[in-house]
Structure 1
Amino acid sequence: MGIAWVFPGQGSQKVGMAEPVLQLPGARERFEQASALLGRDLLAICSGTGGGGDLSDLNDTRNTQPALFVIESLLAEALQAQGRVPHLVAGHSLGELVALHVAGVFDFATGLQLMKSRSTLMAAAGGGAMTAVMGFERSELDDLVAATEGVVVANDNSDAQVVLSGSAEAVAAVSSSLKCKRAIPLAVSGAFHSPFMAAAATAFATELESVAFADAAIPVLSNTDPSPETNAAALKARLVRQMTTGVRWRETMAQFGALGIDVVVEIGPGAVLSGLIKRSCPGSQTAQISSAADLAL
């Protein structure tokens, strides 16, 4: 039986998501470590008491990304402590950094620092917009994107769901022209996974130059190239490209079947990726690990 672990990205966060993992060994220490690095109480932010009193603090990219990294890595490490090892790992957007950590490419402290830098750079980039569209004809979508300057498919999530990213005008033009069931503008600070992130990506690439990557102990499917990879240099190069290119999740899911993956375990809050997999890979089993209680199953 082939098993893959997958790690969700921004959009899976919810107030209270830290509470179910706090009984895991070292959990509070991890949050303290992250809070010291960020200069704000990340655990309080996850609890909705970080200052805004609602989702506003948690939905700030600078908080969302480190919070998900801490929670997802805690859960995955607890699984590994039980002797469980997947055949593949993959992550959606920021989840790719969790996958790299779990595969042994870098340690938690390094991953946390990279997540801080990534989230800060992306939040500062600003400009642009993102819209999720569902229920469309792929050929019509491709034609509209190709004919419209300033818009790209940021997240190719499935045959029936993508996220457009680019200038507000271009994104609105495509989403309004496309015959689709729904088009939902996303509350984000910038046009993530698009050329709008070029300056942020350059700065992140400069930081990555001095970070040592090890070869992965578990093959990783990257957002920019969803083929199994363990080579450290190749994985770093893929991560450099990630901020300005689309998340190829539809192709990642296709790889599960091609590579003999029967069970896909989503590790982190929510079940966004599990839902996509259930609809796109009817032959695969899915499971969710979002709390310490789930580890006892």
Structure 2
Amino acid sequence: MAIGTEAVAWVFPGQGSQAVGMGKELAARYPEVAHLYAEADTALGFSLSRLCWEGPDELLTRTDHAQPAILVTSLAHLAMLRQNYPEVTGNQPLFVAGHSLGEYTALVAAGALAFADAVKLVYRRGQLMNEAGKGNSGMVAVIGGDDALLERLCAESGAEMANYNSPGQTAISGTKAALASFTELAKSNGIKKVIPLPVSAAFHSSLMRPMAEELSKAIAQVEWTTAQIPVISNVTGKAITEAQAIRADLTLQTYSPVRWVESVRTMAAGGATRFVEIGPGKVLSGLIKRIEKEVELVNSDDILK
């Protein structure tokens, strides 16, 4: 499976990819993986590893636990792929990217953020997201409808576009009233599937601005360096490398839509022909397949199991 390094992109999943037991077998087989989880436990002051490996599911799924758990597990997958399957990953990819939370994982992989700092930062991000969820807001997934139609329905209902995930698959955020109005408008415009999502707040919307202000303080306290690999921004769908741009991007990311379709197209247009999804689950592989049909898709879960 040899391929030129310059043709590879690494992509990292976001929240929702967690599953009890993730990383357990890898940690038992590889001391390096066990060490990563131990380092995360020390950074957080509690046993994240036990939550990953034993659950219970309701605690692992909690936003402040799920985010560092997915980050650590994804980086464990990356370490084992690079050690044992370099022909799959290449030594250095052309791009790295992550979906929402996954952008933090990508920044660690690109050398812009230290592992322990990332673990603590996404834990704080999760805490703030939990606190933001105490209001009367949420999200829905929409299957069908083009972007122009959905954007018009958002403008009419007061809802907001949250995730441009793939053609025909979008997430919408807003107050409960705005989402109810959006759902009615969507049905009257021939969209048959509007599915409430099990999240606590209207993530990636303007309702998250107060939370973003607090997160920006935590971001400012962390040491950032220039990324050694171009990182594709969720906010713009374009590459960033400079520390100042990264800090600003992560604050904006909190209340801006995730432009995953544009991100994938940027990487493909930039020469990426193999996308390696690194972390638990296969969500991103499914989305990428619908965005760029000609690229090769590789999933770490398939390789490492």
- Report the TM-score when normalising by structure 2: 0.89
Are positions 1:29 and 2:6 aligned together? Answer: no
Structure 1 residue aligned with 2:10: 5
Q: Deviations over 1:201-224 (max 9, x none)?
A: 101111222222111100000101
Of 76, 79, 83 in structure 2, the residue corresponding to residue 77 of structure 1 is 79
Q: Is the 1:13–1:59 contact (alpha carbons within 8 Å) kept by the matching residues of 2?
A: yes
Q: Deviations over 1:156-207 (max 9, x none)?
A: 1012001111101111221232132321111111111112211211011112
Structure 2 residue aligned with 1:97: 104
Are positions 1:129 and 2:138 aligned together? Answer: yes
Of 284, 289, 296 in structure 2, the residue corresponding to residue 278 of structure 1 is 289
Instruction: Give the Cα–Cα distance (whole angstroms) in 2 for the partners of residues 29 and 68 of structure 1.
Output: 16
How much has 1:291 moved relative to structure 2?
Answer: 7.0
SS at match of 2:17: coil
Instruction: Give the Cα–Cα distance (whole angstroms) in 2 for the partners of residues 291 and 30 of structure 1.
Output: 21
Structure 2 counterpart of 1:133, which letter? V
SS at match of 1:225: coil
Number of equivalences: 289
- Report the TM-score when normalising by structure 1: 0.91
Of 15, 19, 30 in structure 1, the residue corresponding to residue 20 of structure 2 is 15
**Which segments of 5 or more consecutive residues in structure 2 lack a partner in the other structure?**
none
How much has 1:39 moved relative to structure 2?
Answer: 4.3
Q: Is the 1:12–1:269 contact (alpha carbons within 8 Å) kept by the matching residues of 2?
A: yes
Structure 2 residue aligned with 1:86: 93
Instruction: Give the Cα–Cα distance (whole angstroms) in 2 for the partners of residues 161 and 24 of structure 1.
Output: 38
How much has 1:70 moved relative to structure 2?
Answer: 0.5
Q: Deviations over 1:68-121 (max 9, x none)?
A: 010011122333445622110000000000000000001101111111111111
- Relative to its length, the structure with more helix (as a share) is 2
SS at match of 2:111: coil
> For residues 13 and 219 of structure 1, do their structure 2 counterparts lie closer, same or farther at Cα, with a shift above 3 Å needed?
same
How much has 1:258 moved relative to structure 2?
Answer: 1.3
How much has 1:122 moved relative to structure 2?
Answer: 0.8
Structure 2 residue aligned with 1:138: 147
SS at match of 1:212: coil
SS at match of 2:280: coil
Are positions 1:218 and 2:220 aligned together? Answer: no
SS at match of 2:31: coil
Q: Deviations over 1:44-65 (max 9, x none)?
A: 3223x44xx4x21121001100
Q: Is the 1:20–1:290 contact (alpha carbons within 8 Å) kept by the matching residues of 2?
A: no
Q: Is the 2:17–2:281 contact (alpha carbons within 8 Å) kept by the matching residues of 1?
A: yes
Are positions 1:154 and 2:162 aligned together? Answer: yes
Instruction: Give the Cα–Cα distance (whole angstroms) in 2 for the partners of residues 276 and 291 of structure 1.
Output: 17
SS at match of 2:58: helix
Q: Is the 1:267–1:289 contact (alpha carbons within 8 Å) kept by the matching residues of 2?
A: yes
Instruction: Give the Cα–Cα distance (whole angstroms) in 2 for the partners of residues 172 and 117 of structure 1.
Output: 31
CA RMSD of the aligned region, Å? 1.8
Structure 2 residue aligned with 1:119: 126
Percent identity for Structure 1 against Structure 2: 38
Instruction: Give the Cα–Cα distance (whole angstroms) in 1 for the partners of residues 276 and 19 of structure 2.
Output: 19
Structure 2 counterpart of 1:268, which letter? G
**Which segments of 5 or more consecutive residues in structure 1 lack a partner in the other structure?**
none
Instruction: Give the Cα–Cα distance (whole angstroms) in 1 for the partners of residues 160 and 92 of structure 2.
Output: 36
Instruction: Give the Cα–Cα distance (whole angstroms) in 1 for the partners of residues 43 and 217 of structure 2.
Output: 20
> For residues 38 and 107 of structure 1, do their structure 2 counterparts lie closer, same or farther at Cα, with a shift above 3 Å needed?
closer
More displaced 10-residue stretch of structure 1: 29-38 or 237-246: 29-38
Structure 2 residue aligned with 1:237: 248
